[in-house]
Amino acid sequence: MNPENIPLLSLSEVAAAISSGAIASVAATQACLDRIAALDGRVNSFIRVDAEQALATAAECDRDAAEGKLRGPLHGVPLAHKDMFDRLGKVSTGGSRILADRVADRTATILQRLDRSGAIDLGTLNLSEFAAGPTGHNVHYGDCHNAFDHAFIAGGSSSGPAAAVASRLVFAALGSDTGASVRVPAAVNGLTGMKPTYGRVSRHGAMPRSWSLDHVGPLARSARDLALIYGVIAGSDPDDPTTLNQPDVESPKFGSNAVIRGLRIGMLKGAVELGVHPEIAQTLETTGATLKQMGATLVQITLPDLQPLYATAEIIVKSEAAAIHRNWLQTRPQDYGAHVRARIEAGLAITATQYIDALRLRPILARDFIASVFGSCDVMLLPTIPMPVPTIAETDVERRGGEEILAVVGQITRFTRPLSLIGLPVVTAPCGFSQNGLPIGFQFAGRPFQEARLMEVVDAFQQATRFHLTPPSIAAPLSSAS
């Protein structure tokens, strides 16, 4: 195979090719590094590239493979991850100036698991400062750009992972999701992304944004690719008590439309009246019609009032972020972006009783939401963002400010943050394209610990529609993309 074409393979394809010996890990790693050098200036997805170490590890994988010693399902596959996961002896910036020189004294559990599976770590990926923001703006490391059109947002806070995977710089990446931060970047870059059930994936060694709401999840190009990386990282971890005492991780079974037949899909009733842009609402209807043709039963659902969920999540996030950042806010306030600092400082004004009430209210809201919605459906279909993808300029709160821009940014997480509060598993997947040529992604949400079912549903939809196979123009061999 022409080395230029290797990065265009899916995660599943390249993993199989390396395991079979058809492609060497060194060749795959070098091909990704070549694309990063040639193309990342356009999307600004990487903060650090560890080329020498990655190639050395790839060479070790090739030697092991020659001896018949495959390390695991991701043997020799180049990946990269949001710059918020500790790796012993390396700097993890969190997209901030404050952590720019902090060298980790441990390796995050999920990186250990990926290492044991044989994955190659190419470096660290850009993000909104301290994972605080749904757009991908960053005043310290530069804004991240959408892979389909560089004038548009890459989404946040996992902007670098989304832009890198969509631009075919890496095959998959890990991000975090506190209110939208895997789902929005995946959706606006035409990717498939997962926010697992709260506590399903260890956060040990991950920079916290909000202990009570943080989730770690993968971004990839398909449900099958998601399953490959999710199967490696999911499961209990004694170093993260939130992962303990949970059901075993199930592996999805792909290749059949049977999962769709008879499935009750909850469709949002009155989407436009709830603030969904007509173009997105129409695509939502079209997606529902496709699922119906595949054998699903569509059920109109009226969502509970989302405002209490949104407000409760805001109190928890702001309170916990303020506690995490309190010392830095006092000693290094000048080292924050102004808008990020203002958002975090707002948590200092929240009282302990308000925070405790929010924690008390959270399980009640979750119980009532699950009973109300999933009493009549098996899987819920919602917009990931309720409008066509906005531009970087339209959402630049830091440099332009203004109530209009704040209003646009505030709408982005309207249908994502409530699901983070509840802790439900969600897979966002490409479902079409808007008139401006940018992807439209929708959330497939289920009951707790139903990640396997959601991946099966999304995979069946992807085999029928193929939206996930429509790449951005940057996703081409170097000879034509450069």
Amino acid type, 98: I
Grouping H, G, I as helix, E, B as strand and the rest as coil, residue 310 is helix
Q: How far is CA 334 from CA 98, 101, 127, 309, 381, in A?
A: 10, 16, 19, 33, 42
Angle CA 347–86–176, to nearest 5: 55
Which residue in the list 12, 82, 128, 210 is annotated as catalytic? 82
The answer to whether the beta carbons of residues 145 and 102 sit under 8 Å apart is no
How far apart, in whole angstroms, are the C-alpha atoms of residue 80 and residue 50?
Answer: 10
The answer to whether the beta carbons of residues 389 and 188 sit under 8 Å apart is yes
The answer to whether the beta carbons of residues 37 and 27 sit under 8 Å apart is no
Q: What are the backbone dihedrals phi and psi of residue 9, each rounded to the nearest 5 degrees, phi first?
A: -70, 160
Angle CA 256–173–84, to nearest 5: 140
Which residue in the list 157, 167, 176, 212 is annotated as catalytic? 157
**Radius of gyration, CA atoms only, the chain:** 21
- Residue 181 known to be catalytic: yes
Burial readout 372-388 (b: 16 or more C-beta within 10 A, e: otherwise):
ebbeebbbbbbbbbbbb
Which residue in the list 181, 202, 210, 222 is annotated as catalytic? 181
Grouping H, G, I as helix, E, B as strand and the rest as coil, residue 229 is helix
Grouping H, G, I as helix, E, B as strand and the rest as coil, residue 221 is coil
How far apart, in whole angstroms, are the C-alpha atoms of residue 141 and residue 296?
Answer: 45
Q: How far is CA 259 from CA 197, 290, 293, in A?
A: 20, 14, 13
Angle CA 468–164–33, to nearest 5: 120
Q: How far is CA 180 from CA 134, 171, 227, 359, 370, in A?
A: 7, 21, 20, 20, 19
- Residue 195 known to be catalytic: no
Cis peptide before 157 (omega within 30 of 0): yes
- Residue 69 known to be catalytic: no
How far apart, in whole angstroms, are the C-alpha atoms of residue 410 and residue 460?
Answer: 33
Nearest CA to 434 out of 137, 146, 45, 41 is that of: 146
Residues with catalytic function: 82, 157, 181
